[in-house]
Structure 1
Amino acid sequence: MDWFWSFPHLSDDFLRDLRRAIDDSFRTFTRSYGDMLEAFFDPLRIFLIQSERLMLNTPWPIVLLVIAAIAWFASRSIWIVLGSVVTLFLIGMFDMWEDTMRTVSMIFVCTVIAIAVGIPLGILMAKSDRVRNVINPILDVMQTMPSFVYLIPVVMLLGIGRVPGLIAVVIYAIPPIIRLTNLGIRLVDRDVLEAADAFGSSSWQKLKNVQLPLALPTIMAGINQTIMMALAMVVIASMIGVQGLGQPVLRAINNQYFTLGVFNGLAIVGIAIIFDRVSQAYGKRLQKHLEIVHG
């Protein structure tokens, strides 16, 4: 009756040989195509470096003014503007300005890449049930896979550095924008689409002038969630060389520096709140505008 209590499994020798074969194949692939992959992702490295230099070399008063202008444009709320400026000012007062600017530049680049890749994929999912049925399981795996696991293949392919961390953050954070772009386009009222067809709109005109504008509040919610997930990945990505607020937190964990970890953790929370409030307020403004236009 031992078989009843012990779950049957493959032999240890077979499992060991299987793991070894997979690992050896991956290493062989890395040695053969590693340089090609690095060259392929080199534009991302340049984009990230230039974005980081811009944030670090811009005087802090100008950065605060730009953030305040963006917050006002998005929210039209003086309280959100004041909250954003005060939060960044306090971060600077506690000597975390440079790390914060590195983190903001990383989130900016990740968000741009996520938008550039995620919105077209979401549109494809909305246009084709077959594409949706293929991509949905992949997104399920991406959202349930432990975040540390993303680091393993990326590091094996590209080593330690900014670009591997950037790719890991994008992979972790991109599912919400894909899902919500798909959802937003699918929720567009059929009557509106029939009216667009009646006016002789092509598929591209219908997408550009009707579906995307009406789906924009939902897409903005996806961008909001992508930014939040990217910020959540900052500390983990610091393990493979991503600079910013995550590295002091990691150093605090390794050396039991309580205040260092708490201060930098609160700075990450402050940045997250700024992004969240500004993007949510912009999404609500878009929703109200569309209700006025179509109501």
Structure 2
Amino acid sequence: MAETSWLSEIPQLSRGELRDIRKGLDGIYRDFSREYGETIEALFDPLLAFLVWFEKLLLASPWFVIIAVIAALAWVASRSWKLVLGVVVSFFMIGYFGMWDDTMRTMSIILVCTLMAIALGVPIGIAMARSDRIQSTVTPMLDIMQTMPAFVYLIPVVMLLGIGKIPGVIAVIIYAIPPVIRLTNLGIRLVDKDVLEAATAYGASPIQRLMGVQLPLAMPTIMAGINQTIMMALSMVVIASMIGVKGLGQPVLKSITNQYFTLGLLNGLAIVALAIIFDRVSQAYAKRSQQHMEGLENG
């Protein structure tokens, strides 16, 4: 009873007041989406055109060409025949079980989202590393982005842009971008001060120090951030399928609603295969770049 009476003393909004606030905020956002939705959607037309073109390119290309290109990229990144063989076998099995088209659609979304996350995240991470004020401002935003349930991202995006690829891309980028921002900031901040002082003594400008010293030395850490961004983007595949993003997520969603165990299992394994391939290739590249930089430092 004492606890109940203590809680009753806390000032609270009445149900009517809370309802009025919610209705007011909903009305403001609804009016904003109606007024500016088409204008904002038009800004994303180039991205949509590129995404559609890239998806059609992957779907139209012969399967053996796609596998050869991905295997070549895996070899360049890792120099490991075992990894290359694993990539070839994984994609062959994906095609053998009839999941090739959905996998290509998922790859197009993931690659575009990853490129966008890198293009946005690395400059933000650099700005955070160069300014404590920017870091203190951006860090709470990243905390919110990483802890907010993924479904919540879909509500304002769908209200503003409707159903389709672009809302899915935006939701995936918001969910997946924090790691590359955080680890870019961390990697640059961990660069040895003595190395920076030596570069300054040789007359390097701030841009030269950034491009020639800080980014190369921070590359292993940045690659770890890119790796985590790819993993988080893949984890959004099923959720993004709820707003019309085609790919491996839609069969998984269908299997949940219709209790098709085998359909969900096979497409889930295809997502896992993509995640493992991207993870191993990016980790191998980060490891090789770190060994290269250590060799330059020792040399």
Matched, 1:183 2:193: no
Query: Is it true that 1:25 corresponds to 2:28 in the alignment?
Result: yes
State the Cα distance separating 1:9 from its structure 2 match: 2.1
Q: Say whether 1:155 aligns with 2:158.
A: yes
The unaligned stretches of length 5 or more in structure 2 are: none
Going from structure 1 to structure 2, the CA distance change for 1:5 and 1:125 (only over 3 Å counts) comes to: closer
Shift, 1:44, TM fit? 1.3
| Deviation of the 1:43 alpha carbon | 1.3
Deviation of 1:8 (Å): 4.6
Q: TM-score of the superposition, structure 1-length normalised?
A: 0.99
**Of residues 207, 227, 231 in structure 1, which corresponds to 2:234?**
231
1:44 equivalenced with 2:47 (yes/no): yes
Aligned residue number for residue 95 of structure 2: 92
1:257 aligns with 2:260: yes
- Give me the whole-angstrom Cα distance separating, in 1, the residues matched to 2:7 and 2:122: 50
Partner residue of 2:5 out of 3, 7, 21:
3
The whole-number CA distance in structure 1 between the counterparts of 2:175 and 2:51 is 18
- How far off is 1:5 after superposition? 4.8
Structure 2 length normalisation: TM-score? 0.97
| Counterpart among 216, 220, 232 of residue 219 in structure 2 | 216
Equivalent residue for 2:198, pick from 177, 195, 198 = 195
Looking at structure 2, the residues matched to 150 and 218 of structure 1 have their Cα atoms a distance apart, in angstroms, of: 27
1:44-63 residue pairs with structure 2 within 5 A? 44-63=47-66
Taking only the aligned residue pairs, the percentage that are identical comes to: 66
Distance 1:10 1:111 in 2: 43
Match of 1:70 in 2: 73
- Distance (Å, rounded) in 1 between the aligned partners of 2:292 and 2:200: 23
CA distance in 1, matches of 2:59, 2:281: 22
Aligned to 1:277: 280
3-state SS of paired residue (1:278)? helix
Whichever residue aligns with residue 40 of structure 1, its letter is L
Letter in 2 for 1:151: L
Mapping of 1:60-139 within 5 angstroms? 60-139=63-142
What's 2:297 paired with? 294
SS at match of 2:110: helix
Are 2:143 and 1:140 equivalent residues in the alignment? yes
Residues matched between the structures, number: 295
TM-superposed CA distance for 1:57, in Å, is 0.7
Secondary structure class of the residue paired with 1:95: coil
Superposed displacement of residue 47, structure 1:
1.4
* RMSD (Å) for aligned C-alpha atoms: 0.9
Shift of 1:229: 0.2
2:243 counterpart (230, 237, 240): 240
Output the amino acid matched with 2:69: V
Match of residue 174 from structure 2: 171
Question: Which residues of structure 1 form unaligned runs of 5+?
Answer: none
CA distance in 1, matches of 2:46, 2:20: 38
2:38 corresponds, among 35, 39, 47, to 35
Q: Which amino acid aligns with 2:52?
A: I
Distance (whole Å) between structure 2 residues aligned to residue 178 and residue 116 of structure 1: 10
Structure 1 residue 42: Cα displacement: 1.0
After superposition, the C-alpha distances for 1:271-295 in whole angstroms (9 at most, x for unaligned) are 0000000000000000000010002
